[in-house]
Amino acid sequence: MSKKKILVVDDEVRFTQMIKLNLEAGGKYDVKIENNAAQAVKVALEMKPDLILLDVIMPETEGPDVVCQLREHDTLKKVPVIFLTATVTKEEVEAQQGRIGGHAFLAKPGSVDDLIFCIEQHLANAR
Partner 1 sequence: MKSQFGKKLQVLIVEDHPLDRKILLNMLSSSPIGEFETRAAASLSLAFEEIMQHRFDVVILDLNLEDSRGIDTLQKFHRKFPHLPVVINTGSYQDDLGLQAIKKGAQDYLVKGTYKSYMLVKSLYYAVERKKAEEELKTAYTHLKETQIQLIQAEKMNVVGGLASGIAHEVKNPLATIIYGVEYLGTKLGHHDDQINLTLESIKEAARTADDIIKGLLDFASLSLLKKTPENLNDVIARSLPLVRLQCDRNGIEVKKALEPQLPLIKIDKNRIEQVIVNVILNALQAMKDGGTLTIKTEAKEFSRQDNGWMDRRSKPFRSGDHVVILDIEDTGPGIKEAHLVKIFDPFFTTRRASGGVGLGLAIARTIMNNHGGHIRIMNCESGGARARLIFRV
29 is an interface residue for partner 1 by CB under 8 A: no
58-77 positions binding partner 1, by CB under 8 A? none
Listed in sequence order, the residues at least 6 apart from 62 whose beta carbon sits closer than 8 Å to its beta carbon are 37, 56
Cis peptide before 80 (omega within 30 of 0): no
12 is an interface residue for partner 1 by CB under 8 A: yes
**Residues recorded for the chain:** 127
57 is an interface residue for partner 1 by CB under 8 A: yes
CA-based max dimension of the chain: 38
15 is an interface residue for partner 1 by CB under 8 A: yes
95 is an interface residue for partner 1 by CB under 8 A: no
18 is an interface residue for partner 1 by CB under 8 A: yes
User: In angstroms, rounded to a whole number, what is the distance separating the alpha carbons of residues 6 and 8?
Assistant: 6
45 is an interface residue for partner 1 by CB under 8 A: no
User: What SS3 state is found at 16?
Assistant: helix
Piece in contact with partner 1 (CB under 8 A), picked from 1-9, 20-28, 39-47, 72-80: 20-28
CA dist 65 → 9, 87, 125 (Å): 12, 17, 23
Which residues are at the interface with partner 1 (CB under 8 A)? 12, 14-15, 18-19, 21-22, 25, 57, 86-87, 89, 108-112
